[in-house]
Homo-oligomer: A and B are copies of this chain.
């Protein structure tokens, strides 16, 4: 009764090797980067996500929630959960737009600015180390390629929109 079941054929599948998967490569690389940055952030009591928000506000100034979502690449519900906490800690402030009571503008508060200016050197130093090890030119090149790819993908998504929508709505096979 102990006959090994035959292993399913698995070579020469009609698809690229797993190691060449672009999404996987991006995920792995990002995780490797964050592994270096997270401890510093943690020591300041902010998460990666909170830092993203503070940084966007610091660089681009006060913004409405919708703009902030676009700038930080968060979905609106994520912001709805994160912002109240940052507000309580006085890192950010909010004020309703008086011409449209649905909207509110988020801005960096003194405490948030302090956190950023204190932590930025650490962050930049880490960046410098990465650049030194990896090569500054390569880093620039990588950022450029990522940006280009994002643009290309955006164009593609636009063109394929009908196809993608169709696939999205098709029911999973039962």
Point out residues on A near B: beta carbons under 8 Å. 5, 7-10, 13-18, 20-37, 39-40, 42-46, 48, 52, 55-62, 71, 73, 93, 107-110, 113, 116-117, 120-121, 123-124, 127, 129-130, 133-134, 138-139, 141-143, 145-150, 152-157, 160, 164-165, 167-168, 170-173
Cα A35 to Cα B153 with chains together (Å)? 9
* Docked-complex contact B153 and A32, CB < 8 angstroms: yes
* Docked-complex contact B172 and A156, CB < 8 angstroms: no
* Docked-complex contact A143 and B30, CB < 8 angstroms: no
Cα A55 to Cα B45 with chains together (Å)? 38
List the B side residues contacting A142 at CB < 8 Å: 22, 142, 145-146, 149
